[in-house]
Structure 1
Amino acid sequence: MTSTLTATAEGAPVVELDRPLVGGSHHRSSAGTAGLDASDAERSEKLAAMRAGELGSVHSWELVTAVDGPGTRLTAFLAGCPLRCLYCHNPDTMEMRRGEPVSADELLRRVARYRRIFEATGGGLTLSGGEPLMQPAFVARVLRGAKELGVHTAIDTSGYLGAHCSDEMLADIDLVLLDVKSGLPETYRRTTGRDLQPTLDFGRRLAASGTEIWVRFVLVPGLTDAPENVDAVADYVATLPTVSRVEVLPFHQMGRDKWTTLGLRYELEDTQPPTPELVARVRQQFRDRGLTVH
């Protein structure tokens, strides 16, 4: 199951959206793309609109509190991801063709509707996925529009496509939820199918720019829990002065049925969630570096 991607002049991937498909994206309550008007433009017009950032492949959106950043947030899940994490609980967001074509203006109208809630709770907009930096032109346009509305912005990213984040885009981001999936290169490749270095480079670039970072680390017994792997993550995170918190996220099996439905092989079928003792040990490894852990 692969999407047809075309590189833009900037190297950003564009997908042919001739067969949009929407499914339930997340373990939390989700509205899919209900309330967002999908474009019915012809395919060539869609591709041109995606290159310009006017149109994106949006899998779903939801309104959540204290999950994807501070306060109450509208989190939009964009479709498409270059990683293939073994524990992914949203495998239905891996391919861009599984999203619905939605205009940046339509998404921003939704954001504007909740401005009072954002102001009252200290919340805002979070662009997640999938991987939002698969669609940099769209993300840049939405972030710019959100800032013009006075809305706090965040992206949830692995950092693997950090090179797609221009300096102009970065200036419109208030917070990055950086998913550091492993500290050892071989474990990172086993976990994601990709290389670790781009994530490390992007984190350092964020810190150099003064951008606030929340680090997320998924704790998977038998995969990411080795003390030396956690130490490597913690040592790296401790070098980033703009990290304000670390979230240790215990592995769960909530996405298992989605893998089956999509006809994908799920390698962690027999993996159990981490014990409270293991979670406590890993959190302490981060605290030992002076990091604030949740």
Structure 2
Amino acid sequence: MNGRPPAPPQVTAAVPGAVTGAVHSWDTSVGVDGPGTRFVVFLAGCPLRCRYCHSPDTWYGRSGRRRTVDEMVTLATRYRRFIQVAGGGVTVSGGEPLLQPAFTGELLRRCHDLGLHTALDTSGFLGVRADDALLDATDLVLLDVKAGNPQTYRRVTGTGRLAPTLRFAQRLADRGTPIWIRYVLVPGLTDAVDEVERVADVAAGLATVQRVEVLPFHRLGAHKYAELGLTFPLADTEPPDAGLLTRVRGQFAARGLTVT
């Protein structure tokens, strides 16, 4: 569960003219949200309803608290030396950070100007909202490619379309932005051989993909659904076994991709 550093600044009102966003929480992580130790800002609000989502508490903007970019940069700078020594940086995640492009872009720019490595964790569904200035301040995009087949993508996300993610991915590659592809492996949903092959085709066709992360489905967020009075769609789905993980990772590796 996302935590918070001790004694965050308390703000009763935004500074006039300041860029603000709905921030759900923040935390530090190691090797999960980009390279090294990261200061991770989780924004509130997401247009998708992925069946395996482990953070339904981030779906709505009202679940966040209005924060200024100044506040979040101040928090990040508390960890600046620590994360730089550890080869890390700042990651803006969610929810979906591109639902709040002005806040996300300004936060990335400010952190980038401080010499911090910056990463954007996104589904790419709202990639059209990321202008060039935002991407210029982004050192790495963690791109969640949820499926390779449009029909499967809709089954996974409930409302989304695959095409915007593919267009965004190609735009990133064309401009030279490093990409880490993320693929959540769910037995019975995203594990079909041809489904994985489609995603491997996408990843192999993008010149700036540095690695593919095959993330095994888990049920660690099930308690959040219960707390919100929601039904977890995959409550009866088991995590993938070692054999399935090996097969899927092998499909990506066979295309010359670095896989974790």
TM-score, length-normalised on structure 1? 0.85
Whether 1:232 and 2:198 are equivalent positions in the alignment is: yes
Does the 8 Å contact 1:216/1:249 carry over to 2? yes
Amino acid at match of 2:168: F
Equivalent position SS for 2:200: helix
Whether 1:123 and 2:88 are equivalent positions in the alignment is: yes
Indicate the residue corresponding to 2:183 in structure 1.
217
Gaps of 5+ in 1: 1-25
Gaps of 5+ in 2: none
Shift of 1:66: 1.2
Equivalent position SS for 1:64: strand
Whether 1:30 and 2:3 are equivalent positions in the alignment is: yes
Shift of 1:269: 1.2
Once superposed, which parts of structure 1, at least 4 consecutive aligned residues long, lie more than 4 Å away?
Answer: none
Indicate the residue corresponding to 2:169 in structure 1.
203
Equivalent position SS for 1:69: coil
Shift of 1:39: 3.6
Q: How many residues align?
A: 259
Amino acid at match of 2:187: P
Structure 2 CA distance, aligned partners of 1:180 and 1:191?
A: 11
Amino acid at match of 1:293: V
Indicate the residue corresponding to 2:243 in structure 1.
277
Q: 1:80 aligns with which of 34, 45, 48?
A: 45
Deviations 1:27-73 (A, max 9, x none): xx522x754335423xxx79xx7xx6611111111111111111111
What CA RMSD, in Å, does the superposition of the two structures yield over aligned residues?
1.5
Equivalent positions of 1:1-294 (< 5 A) are 26=1, 30-31=3-4, 35-41=7-13, 54-193=19-158, 194-294=160-260
Structure 2 CA distance, aligned partners of 1:104 and 1:37?
A: 12
Indicate the residue corresponding to 1:17 in structure 2.
none
Amino acid at match of 2:221: G
Shift of 1:171: 0.3
TM-score, length-normalised on structure 2? 0.96
- Residue identity over aligned pairs, in percent, reads 54
